[in-house]
């Protein structure tokens, strides 16, 4: 994230850095999440059941004709660093790899969308809990889908792979082994406000992880926040934004990223 996201996202990055040094998995002094009995990053929350995904699902799925290919394995022309400069991530062998140059975001902005991407945590396991294969897909710099090595790696459930970070764990843990490519197929609907800045529709997410449905039109409670309750704030913003990929200091790899805008039905 560094230099990339909003103040709230920067605090998440600071927390992740602390987690890498401290392997404890969660907190008991954070606020209770509205509508739940669990606290934010609650270490006592039950771990999602493990489901072994199929050998393949949408691995290396070709982009549909109306999709924007954000990364085809050859260059980063669709991405930019937070300081407006070209991203410094490594590109080789058909993938890009996170470096400590900071997170990156798309040059273009998107509204409601279908996003496909593939990621792999390092094959050599280093660290544990939040310090192991950590990255993230952060929509508009506000709504985070966690990327983590969650293969036999206990952590607080609302921070494991596929979690709506700090809000909802995935229904199940569908992670593959370290070093293996994994797929996220994401459908996101942006929040909406009326002319008086009243929130009339929360953002929601459908996520298929390695062919396993882990969220279905689940509403985000608000923007991602470290150890605090999520909130939409008191101001509206346009229903379009950039897609961010997080630098957390772990050499996570990404490949085959494409996105489709979701138009309304012809009614």
Predicted confidence at residue 70, as pLDDT, reads 98
Average pLDDT, the chain: 89
The answer to whether residue 126 is domain-embedded is yes
What separation in angstroms does the CA of 237 have from each of 224, 232, 242?
16, 10, 13
At 266, is the pLDDT very low, low, confident or very high (cuts 50, 70, 90)? low
The answer to whether residue 55 is domain-embedded is no
At 21, is the pLDDT very low, low, confident or very high (cuts 50, 70, 90)? very low
pTM score of the predicted model: 0.88
The answer to whether residue 51 is domain-embedded is no
Task: Say how many domains are in the chain.
Answer: 1
| E runs forming strands in 51-165 | 68-71, 79-81, 90-92, 95-97, 104-106, 113-120, 135-139, 143-147
CATH number of the domain within which 221 lies: 2.60.120.560
What is the domain extent for residue 34?
7-41+64-261
The runs of H, that is alpha helices, within 57-98 are none
At 86, is the pLDDT very low, low, confident or very high (cuts 50, 70, 90)? confident
Residue 167 CB-density burial (10 A; 0-12 exposed, 13-18 middle, 19+ buried):
buried
Q: If you average pLDDT over residues 86-91, what whole number do you get?
A: 92
The answer to whether residue 151 is domain-embedded is yes
Predicted confidence at residue 267, as pLDDT, reads 56
The answer to whether residue 68 is domain-embedded is yes
Whether residue 2 is predicted with pLDDT greater than 50 in this model: the reply is no
For residue 103, give both structure tokens: 């997170």
3-state SS of 172-188?
EECCCCCCCCEEEEEEE
Nearest to 184 by CA among 159, 156, 154, 205: 205
Question: From CA 259, how far away is CA 66, in angstroms rounded?
Answer: 9
At 265, is the pLDDT very low, low, confident or very high (cuts 50, 70, 90)? confident
The answer to whether residue 221 is domain-embedded is yes
> Phi first, then psi: what are they for 263, rounded to 5°?
-85, 160
The answer to whether residue 58 is domain-embedded is no
Among 10-14, 83-87, 98-102, 104-108, the least confident range:
10-14
Whether residue 96 is predicted with pLDDT greater than 90 in this model: the reply is yes
| Residue-wise pLDDT tens digits, 161-173 | 999 999 999 999 9
The answer to whether residue 52 is domain-embedded is no
């Amino acid at each position: 994230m560094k230099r990339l996201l909003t103040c709230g996202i920067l605090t998440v990055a600071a927390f992740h850095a602390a987690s890498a040094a401290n392997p404890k998995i969660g907190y008991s002094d954070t606020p209770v999440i509205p509508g739940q009995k669990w606290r934010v990053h609650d270490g006592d929350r039950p771990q999602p059941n493990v489901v072994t995904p199929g050998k393949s699902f949408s691995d290396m799925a070709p982009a549909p004709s109306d999709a924007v290919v954000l990364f085809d394995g050859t260059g980063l022309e669709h991405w930019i660093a937070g300081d407006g400069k070209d991203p410094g991530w490594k590109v080789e062998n058909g993938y890009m790899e996170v470096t400590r140059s900071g997170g990156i975001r798309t040059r273009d902005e998107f509204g409601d969308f279908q996003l496909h991407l593939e990621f792999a945590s390092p094959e050599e396991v280093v660290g544990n809990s939040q310090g192991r294969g950590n990255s993230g897909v952060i929509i508009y710099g506000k709504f985070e889908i966690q990327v983590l090595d969650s293969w036999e790696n206990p952590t607080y459930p609302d921070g494991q792979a596929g979690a709506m970070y700090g809000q909802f764990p995935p229904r199940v843990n569908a992670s593959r082994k370290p070093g293996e490519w994994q797929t996220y197929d994401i459908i996101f609907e942006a929040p909406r406000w009326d002319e008086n800045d009243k929130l009339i529709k929360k953002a929601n997410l459908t996520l298929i992880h390695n062919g396993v449905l882990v969220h279905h039109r689940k509403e985000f409670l608000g923007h991602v926040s470290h150890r605090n309750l999520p909130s939409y704030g008191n101001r509206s913003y346009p229903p379009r934004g950039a897609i961010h990929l997080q630098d957390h200091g772990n050499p996570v790899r990404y490949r085959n990223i494409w996105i489709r805008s979701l138009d309304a039905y012809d009614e």
